[in-house]
Amino acid sequence: MRRHRHAKIVATVGPASSAPDKLRALFLAGVDTFRLNFSHGVQADHAAVHAAIRALEREVGRPIGILQDLQGPKIRIGTLEGGRLDLVTGETVRFVLDGSDGDRRSIPLHHPEIFAAVVPGQDLLIDDGRVRVRVVGLEAGAIEAEVINGGPISNRKGVNLPGTLLDLSPLTAKDRADLAFGLDLGVDWVALSFVQKPSDVIEARALIGDRAGIMSKIEKPQALERIDDIIRLSDAVMVARGDLGVEIPHEDVPGRQKELIRACRLAVKPVIVATQMLDSMVGAPAPTRAEASDVATAIYDGADAVMLSAESATGLYPVEAVSMMDRIIRSVEGHKLYRSIVAASQPGEEETPPHAVATATAVLAEAVHASAIVTYTTSGTTAARVARKRPAVPILALTPNVATARRLSLLWGTHPVHTDDVDSYEEMTAKAAQHARDEGFAKPNDMIVTTAGIPFHTVGNTNNIRVIQIRPAAGTAVTPIAVRQDFRSVGGMRLALWHRHPDGIDPSSL
């Protein structure tokens, strides 16, 4: 089941989409990876969804990614008398560390790390910034605050502290229990909420190891201060614009989004843009023009994937939302300016042989008008290196590791295939041609370009390129095409690629 687009779609599963028939409809509409939001629901519900997705995967014969999104240390007020308070601009209210069923003088805030970190003059944002209060005094176990922007607050509403580094682990006791559960299920990705510093990722890595990819959600301004280290330690990044847009000025979010996408492309790490992308489709069958433009901007920026949250989890039109996102992506990628815009945002090259070979593969595939690039990859790194170039040619990633195939469902332009490993050069070329035909990427007489690491079974050693012409025969026979091409501009290196060619095929015609 080939997707005719490069960018991927992530959809959150919830009450509107958890039934097996709905999951199937969402996949057919365009979902590549499903997100299980552990901020809601119980473990048994998530296990049922996980089982349904794996059953769907067997039915369609294509790897499907599953992302476990941990709740993280979300800061919330406690319960209020009557369940609600209407705060009036200019009045003074009091937050307390201990207590329940609070009123204006005793709003529960059971987070000692806040009381240890706040200082007079600092703002607290409640309910995604709809209500703002400013600290005017501190006591033992109490905070006096003036209401700057009034409004209603209710039980368990979130609290943000812009610009404050809190002494919090990214993994609460609930998160640790959910993480163990998810890893036992076999999730492909684990998203860490409210990452603030590199040590947060290191802490999670000690628990996760290589059992799942780690995705750092960037939603705290403190994370932006150490973003290069966080990206380096992570396997993927999510631009979580909800909380990030609360803690930094709204006008700064678009620029930060572009910076994060570029940094992830440079580091060869997948990046997802998330939150409120088609938000009006929670209750309407079509998005606003601004929302469609928002999705398009992420695609023009070169994001690997875009994500639906409430639209697919609780909305009235989950399948329509996925279909709309699919249509927007395909429209953007087919636009006459798309290639030039993506090329203009291409990050600098790393001057290493594997990166140079991967870049040369993408350039060569476009030069010979190849139908596909076929990569052999164990960890997914080879495919990711090629995808960083954002070639116009689709990437067919062959891997003997089913976990790698599922994670690659998140990678830009990549069609993952779980297949047996290869042990020889001849087997590699035959299998590349066979899968290119079987998966609908090439037909007889088409060119494909393969890249792999030789010797085989060596992780991260991308060092070989081969051009193949598929014979109009049974499908496994291939014709190697001789190519000699110097790539002096790739990573500061001069690469000469040599192959034999049969009679009647002139390599100069390439």
Closest CA to 53 of 363, 423, 420, 45: 45
Q: Are 399 and 377 in contact (CB under 8 A)?
A: yes
Residue tagged active-site, from 217, 241, 389, 406: 217
- Report how far residue 284's alpha carbon sits from residue 324's, in angstroms, rounded to the nearest whole number: 12
Residue tagged active-site, from 35, 62, 265, 466: 35
The letter for the amino acid at 103 is D
CA torsion sign for 365, 366, 369, 375 is positive
φ, ψ for residue 490, nearest 5 deg: -90, 105
Q: Are 491 and 386 in contact (CB under 8 A)?
A: no
66 token code pair? 């599953």
How many C-beta atoms surround the C-beta of residue 501 within 10 A?
Answer: 15
How many C-beta atoms surround the C-beta of residue 147 within 10 A?
Answer: 19
Q: Are 152 and 126 in contact (CB under 8 A)?
A: no
CB-count exposure of residue 276 (10 Å: 0-12, 13-18, 19+)? middle
List Cβ neighbours of 109 (8 Å cut-off, separation of 6 or more): 75, 77, 78, 95, 96, 97, 115, 143, 159
List Cβ neighbours of 106 (8 Å cut-off, separation of 6 or more): 94, 96, 99
Q: Are 483 and 447 in contact (CB under 8 A)?
A: no
- Report how far residue 464's alpha carbon sits from residue 480's, in angstroms, rounded to the nearest whole number: 14
- Report how far residue 250's alpha carbon sits from residue 413's, in angstroms, rounded to the nearest whole number: 30
What region does 2 belong to: left with phi over 0, alpha with psi -120 to 50, or beta? Answer: beta
506 token code pair? 């002139």
140 token code pair? 């033992």
Q: List residues bridging with 290 in a β-sheet.
A: none
Q: Is 35 a catalytic residue?
A: yes
φ, ψ for residue 173, nearest 5 deg: -60, -40
Which helix or strand (DSSP H or E) is residue 192 part of? Answer: strand 189-192
Residue tagged active-site, from 24, 54, 76, 174: 76
Q: Is 156 a catalytic residue?
A: no
Q: Is 24 a catalytic residue?
A: no
Q: Which DSSP symbol is given to 82?
A: G
- Report how far residue 277's alpha carbon sits from residue 303's, in angstroms, rounded to the nearest whole number: 13
Q: Are 104 and 86 in contact (CB under 8 A)?
A: no
Q: Is 275 a catalytic residue?
A: yes
Map residue 349 onto helix, strand or coil. coil
Residue tagged active-site, from 33, 164, 275, 450: 275
List active site positions: 35, 76, 217, 275
